[in-house]
Amino acid sequence: MLDATQRARYARHLILPGLGLDGQRRLRGARVLLVGAGGLGSPAALYLAAAGVGTLGLVDDDLVDLTNLQRQIIHGQGDVGRPKVDSARDTLTRLTPDVTVHTHPTRLTAANALDLIADYDLVIDGSDNFPTRALVSQASARLLVPHVWASVSQYQGQLSVWSAGEGPCYHCVFPQQPTPDQVPSCAVGGVLGATVGALGSLLAVETVKLLTGIGEPLIGRLLVHDGLAATWDVVTVRRRPDCAVCGSGADPTRALGATTAPGEPTAYASVGERPTVTARDLAGLLAAGATLIDVREPGERDGATIPGALPVPLADLLGGARPWSGDRVYVHCHSGARSARAVDALRANGIDAWDVRGGILAWLTEVDPEGMPSRP
């Protein structure tokens, strides 16, 4: 039941044709997992909390960076350096005090994806990398949990609802995942914050439709947005009977992260295979002579650097630049997204590369707080 305060708060929902009191009760009883508390996850989480969704789960192992604030509106200036899940939780509970927020300060991996997603009614994928998108797709399809997905690059975006059994899954439409150097990240190619907001808001719309049973979800349809041209197009997409994830021959015992048959090349290494090191441990390794690679852009290094780090921008590294000697290297960026891609690419080429968890933000928090740039 809704008490008097809740009836007043959600009054505009209660008079909506098709939603009404029954739909609001369904929202209150729903459990939604958001993978990523960044650009797409921010508006989606805010609107779902405001809409009265009872339980939200947040999966993200990243820290808030100053460069995030241009689009990740769930975080503020004072949250720089904090775990994103903590910052997002505080914002959501200020907005809607009776929402329950479960924080999962971890990276989604092949080892934990099924356990995390199984506890929720629906999963929203707002991640910013292809390995995580692949894992969300595989785990959701195996568990038959509806999967609402969006992706944004520069001024453009795509959105759909993947629902194994009713329509195609993500892998039906995108069976081959690109390598890290084929699609520029936000840090390399840039992104318009308002475009991310538009797609993130639609994630919330599709989620509300699925939870309440109203409208026609984007199952079997791909929504394509071009911000510069101000266009929205809908493309029909179909299920592939031979899909390795949801097709009739899909192996439910196959390890997540592998979408090809044994002996065939895998499109992208599982994020669960990537070795990592903490900032504290890195300090000792550097003292012993370890090689550290900084894959940030030149302008980013003006604010803070880790002493001894060798600057090799991500694009140069993915292009084959190897200005170091030795068999093992450690890689860092701002907060971990670009370094993860660099490590995957290096390891695919036989180099023993390790990812510095949390990037320079973790270093400044755990090792060298005095090196933190002053906040404007």
Active site residues: 186, 333
C-alpha 286/C-alpha 304 separation (Å) is 17
Owner of token pair 């290494």: 269
C-alpha pair distances (Å), 260 with each of 108, 132, 160, 164: 20, 17, 24, 18
Residue of 171, 164, 102, 165 whose CA lies nearest to 131: 171
Q: 261 with 245: CB under 8 angstroms?
A: no
Between CA 316 and CA 307 the distance in angstroms is: 21
- Other beta carbons less than 10 A from residue 155's beta carbon: 15
Element (DSSP H or E) covering residue 56 = strand 55-59
Among residues 55, 81, 80, the alpha carbon closest in space to that of 69 is found at: 80
Q: Which amino acid is at 368?
A: D
Is residue 356 within 8 A of residue 363, CB to CB? The reply is yes
- DSSP designation for 176: S
63-95 burial code (b ≥16 CB/10 A, e <16): bbbeebeebbbbbeeebbbbbbbbbbbbbbeee
SS3 165: coil
The radius of gyration of the chain from alpha carbons, rounded to an integer in Å, stands at 21
Q: Does residue 149 contact residue 202 with C-beta atoms inside 8 Å?
A: no
79, 74, 126, 210: CA torsion to nearest 10: 150
The secondary element (H helix, E strand) that includes residue 6 is helix 4-9
DSSP 138-164: HHHHHHT--EEEEEEEBTEEEEEEE-B
Q: List, in sequence order, every residue forming a beta bridge with 151; answer none if it has no partner.
A: 158
